[in-house]
Amino acid sequence: MDFRLSVLDQSPISEGSTGRDALRHSIDLARRAEALGYHRYWVAEHHATPMLACTSPEVLMGAIAAVTSRIRVGSGGVMLPHYSPLKVAEVFSLLSALYPDRIDLGVGRAPGSDPLTAFALQRDRRQAAPDDFPQQIAELLAYLFDRMPPGHRFARLAALPGRPHRPEPWLLGSSPQSGLWAAEAGLPYAFADFINPAGAEIARRYRDTFTPSWLGATPQVIACVSAICAETDQEADRLAASGRMAFALLHQGELIPVPPVETAQRFLAARAAREDGVPRRRRAVIGAPDAVRRGLEAVAAEYAADEMMVVTITYDHEARCRSYALIADAFGLPGARP
């Protein structure tokens, strides 16, 4: 295997359970992922949804880093337009001091929510927030790496509490523009294939236009892919029904917790029988271990990925843990056991 394997956790809330249950499951899965030999464990940021529990990745990161010792822990990601770059820099500087050489700061531009929720997250609601993401990125990096120009009015604010430790920054995206920003800034780039499966060309353009900088001399690409693995193709496909139903309703504006498999199967069967058919699916790698390995290797080849990050949503927590264990075993990760 010529790429690393990592985990993206969206902290799914299953029907009949609570957000607290989902967060405890995230901490449990992080422990297991470290034992299996995964390289990173990133947690997402989503707001105002009954399906996903993590509204504050930095809080969950602290809890996960405290119960693990080797795996890198990061945000996948912090939705920077909601926040002050200084506040984000201070928070991640503090995490880096507490857990040296283990903290990743993945930042994104997407709201992680609907427009109304994004507006509610603003401190000043007299007008829409400015669209100044590149400037936010530049300010954030200047704080983290103490590169604020001496005469800048914020220069003294770069005395962060975690020095000399700092997080490893990544730019997240699912669009061509994010790849251009990452290349221009010389940042490593994580692409959300589970949102946009047409990212291979975006990743190629990122590599071709990458500008070496004080942040890094060479481009780095993570491709984040949706995957579910089980002992058989049929069982994996059965487990995937829960996510398919939840995302089908999401496209219609209806937010629900992750439904039980049987409920989802009935919903999908009824939907397929209607004239409009089943809605277009996002790309997902689903099947038995050998099939999932081949699928992930194929996506990695498309992106020339240095790392593959797997996001898995199932109704049952143990099924999700089992999926990651089977994938680890299929790729021969150091902690995996037959």
User: Is the residue at 336 inside a domain?
Assistant: no
How far is it, in rounded angstroms, from Cα 317 to Cα 323? Answer: 10
Residue 74 β-bridge partners:
42, 104
Q: pLDDT at position 123, please?
A: 78
User: Is the residue at 44 inside a domain?
Assistant: yes
How far is it, in rounded angstroms, from Cα 245 to Cα 256? Answer: 9
User: Is the residue at 275 inside a domain?
Assistant: yes
How far is it, in rounded angstroms, from Cα 161 to Cα 180? Answer: 31
Q: Which of 11-15, 112-116, 144-148, 163-167 has the least mean pLDDT? A: 112-116
Percent of the chain residues past pLDDT 90, beyond the cut = 80
* 232: number of Cβ within 10 Å: 12
How far is it, in rounded angstroms, from Cα 78 to Cα 150? Answer: 28
Mean pLDDT for all residues in the chain: 93
The answer to whether 246 and 234 are in contact (CB under 8 A) is no
The answer to whether 140 and 80 are in contact (CB under 8 A) is yes
What's the DSSP call for residue 150? Answer: T
Q: Is pLDDT above 70 for 66? A: yes
User: Is the residue at 202 inside a domain?
Assistant: yes
Domain of residue 275: give its range.
4-330
How far is it, in rounded angstroms, from Cα 333 to Cα 253? Answer: 39
The answer to whether 77 and 42 are in contact (CB under 8 A) is yes
The 10s digit of each residue's pLDDT in 23-54 is: 999 999 999 999 999 999 999 999 999 999 99
How far is it, in rounded angstroms, from Cα 333 to Cα 324? Answer: 11
User: Is the residue at 98 inside a domain?
Assistant: yes
SS3 213: strand
Residues in the chain, overall count: 338
The 10s digit of each residue's pLDDT in 189-222 is: 999 999 999 999 999 999 999 999 989 999 999 9
Residue 337: pLDDT band (50, 70, 90) is: low
User: Is the residue at 335 inside a domain?
Assistant: no
Question: Which CATH number characterizes residue 214's domain?
Answer: 3.20.20.30
260 or 113: which leads in pLDDT: 260
Q: pLDDT at position 278, please?
A: 47
What's the DSSP call for residue 114? Answer: -
How many separate domains does the chain show?
1
User: Is the residue at 254 inside a domain?
Assistant: yes
User: Is the residue at 200 inside a domain?
Assistant: yes
